[in-house]
């Protein structure tokens, strides 16, 4: 008899849609799970605008996590498109990871999201986030609320930022995952195109610089990535688009200080994408009046 006994390892593979209100910490959670910068984050709500895949692999198998735009009720054109992106992600998934912000008492928006995820009919795991800063009483109230609205759904108190309770969420997700081959290589942590990742890293720093409504008026497009073999340098050219001249003035800043800060801060993250090369980033700010009502632009940047 042969000494060789094949070991049958039943790997699991599941796609998970991450759903929740704006600013509940969905993108922070994806980054913590995937141990990399998959999705940009900000203290202002409605940061994520696309379905963004993060990939987590360990000896149990693979979870393909789809970060989605925060679900916000509004009839504005851009918001309707963001809602559609979140709803679509629910259709192509094995399970939903529902992230609830313990700092904000549930309201109409939470009720809408619960209706939406229930109607999708896929298994749900819920995470009550920001337990590192929320009081115990707020966390308990949120857990109670979820138990009453989603009976039978496992609920985990977590901190996406401090990485507590996240392992328990992974155990619950793998428990729901079907057996299957890995869809991505083990070392992959996202599948986003390079141009998109760079544009997002620039947008993150532009958002960090401004307040009020301006973060929502920004979109970034990379026009060009060029590699020069001779001097081992990657050239990135990108446009930060805003809706008004006044917003442009704020982003550029006095003597160009604003745009310089965005370039220097985003450089740190973008450089990690080109570890052995030199990097040059050329940033311009451009005014695109009322782009949020322009179907052509919205379709291009939100698809």
Ligand X SMILES: Nc1nc2c(ncn2[C@@H]2O[C@H](COP(=O)(O)OP(=O)(O)OP(=O)(O)O)[C@@H](O)[C@H]2O)c(=O)[nH]1
**83 touching ligand X, by CB under 6 A:** no
DSSP string, the chain: --S--------EEEEEEEEESTTSSHHHHHHHHHTS--S---SSS----S-EEEEEEETTEEEEEEE--------SHHHHHHHHHHHHHHHT-SEEEEEEETTS---HHHHHHHHHHHHHTS-EEEEEE-TTTS-HHHHHHHHHHHHHHSTT--EEE-BTTTTBSHHHHHHHHHHHPPB---SS-TT--B---HHHHHHHHHHHHHHHH--TTGGGG-EEEEEEEEEETTTTEEEEEEEEEESSHHHHHHHH-GGGHHHHHHHHHHHHHHHTTSTTSEEEEEEEEEE-TTGGG-HHHHHHHH-
User: Are residues 51 and 88 in contact, defined by beta-carbon separation less than 8 angstroms?
Assistant: yes
Give the number of residues in contact with Mg ion, rule: CB under 5 A.
4
Distances (CA, A) of 89 to 94, 116, 120, 175, 195: 10, 12, 10, 21, 22
Q: Which does 241 bind (CB under 5 to 8 A by kind): ligand X, Mg ion, none?
A: none
Q: Which is nearer to ligand X, 23 or 62 (CB)?
A: 23
Q: Name the minimum Å distance from CB 27 to Mg ion.
A: 3
**31 touching Mg ion, by CB under 5 A:** no
Draw the binding track, 143-182, toward ligand X (x: CB under 6 A; -: no contact): ----------------xxx---------------------
Give the number of residues in contact with ligand X, rule: CB under 6 A.
24
**27 touching Mg ion, by CB under 5 A:** yes
Q: Which is nearer to ligand X, 80 or 279 (CB)?
A: 80
User: Are residues 302 and 49 in contact, defined by beta-carbon separation less than 8 angstroms?
Assistant: yes
**48 touching Mg ion, by CB under 5 A:** yes
Binding-site member from 48, 57, 66, 83 for ligand X (CB under 6 A) = 48
Q: Which is nearer to ligand X, 82 or 252 (CB)?
A: 82
Q: Name, in order, each residue with C-beta under 8 angstroms of 197's C-beta and a sequence gap of 6 or more.
A: 190, 273
Q: Name the minimum Å distance from CB 235 to ligand X.
A: 30
Q: Which does 25 bind (CB under 5 to 8 A by kind): ligand X, Mg ion, none?
A: ligand X
Q: Name the minimum Å distance from CB 255 to ligand X.
A: 29
Q: Which does 45 bind (CB under 5 to 8 A by kind): ligand X, Mg ion, none?
A: ligand X
Q: Name the minimum Å distance from CB 48 to Mg ion.
A: 3
- Which 104-143 positions form the footprint of ligand X (CB under 6 A)? 129-130, 132-133
**50 touching Mg ion, by CB under 5 A:** no
**28 touching Mg ion, by CB under 5 A:** no
Residue 267 C-beta-side C-alpha neighbours within 13 Å: 16
Closest residue to ligand X in the complex (CB): 70
Q: Which does 66 bind (CB under 5 to 8 A by kind): Mg ion, ligand X, none?
A: none
Q: Which is nearer to ligand X, 25 or 154 (CB)?
A: 25
Measured CA to CA, the distance from residue 168 to residue 102 in angstroms comes to 18
Site residues (vs ligand X, CB under 6 A): 20, 22-28, 41-43, 45-48, 69-70, 129-130, 132-133, 159-161
- Footprint on this chain of Mg ion (rule: CB under 5 A): 26-27, 47-48
């Amino acid at each position: 008899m042969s000494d060789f006994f094949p070991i049958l390892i039943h790997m699991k593979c599941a796609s998970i849609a991450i759903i929740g209100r704006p600013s509940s910490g969905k993108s922070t959670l994806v980054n913590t799970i995937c141990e990399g910068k998959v999705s940009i984050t900000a203290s202002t709500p409605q940061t994520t605008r696309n379905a963004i895949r993060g990939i987590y692999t360990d000896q149990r198998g693979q979870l393909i996590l789809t970060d989605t735009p925060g679900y916000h009720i509004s009839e504005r054109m851009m918001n309707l498109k963001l809602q559609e992106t979140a709803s679509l992600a629910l259709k192509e998934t094995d399970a939903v990871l529902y992230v609830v912000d313990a700092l904000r008492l549930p309201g109409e928006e939470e009720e809408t999201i619960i209706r939406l995820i229930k109607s999708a009919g896929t298994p749900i795991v819920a995470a009550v986030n920001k337990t590192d800063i929320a009081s115990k009483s707020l966390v308990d109230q949120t857990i109670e609320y979820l138990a009453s609205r989603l009976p039978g759904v496992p609920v985990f108190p977590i901190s996406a930022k401090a990485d507590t309770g996240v392992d328990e969420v992974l155990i619950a997700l793998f428990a729901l995952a079907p057996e299957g081959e890995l869809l991505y290589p083990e070392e992959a942590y996202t599948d986003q195109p390079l141009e998109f990742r760079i544009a997002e890293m620039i947008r993150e720093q532009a958002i960090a610089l401004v307040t009020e409504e301006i973060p929502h008026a920004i979109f970034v497009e990379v026009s060009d990535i060029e590699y020069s073999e001779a001097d081992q340098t990657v050239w990135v050219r990108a446009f930060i688009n805003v809706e008004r001249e006044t917003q442009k003035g704020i982003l550029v800043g006095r003597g160009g200080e604003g745009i310089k800060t965005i370039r220097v801060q985003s450089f740190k993250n973008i450089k990690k994408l080109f570890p052995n090369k030199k990097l040059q980033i050329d940033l311009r700010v451009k005014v695109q009046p009322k782009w949020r009502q322009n179907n052509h632009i919205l379709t291009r940047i939100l698809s």
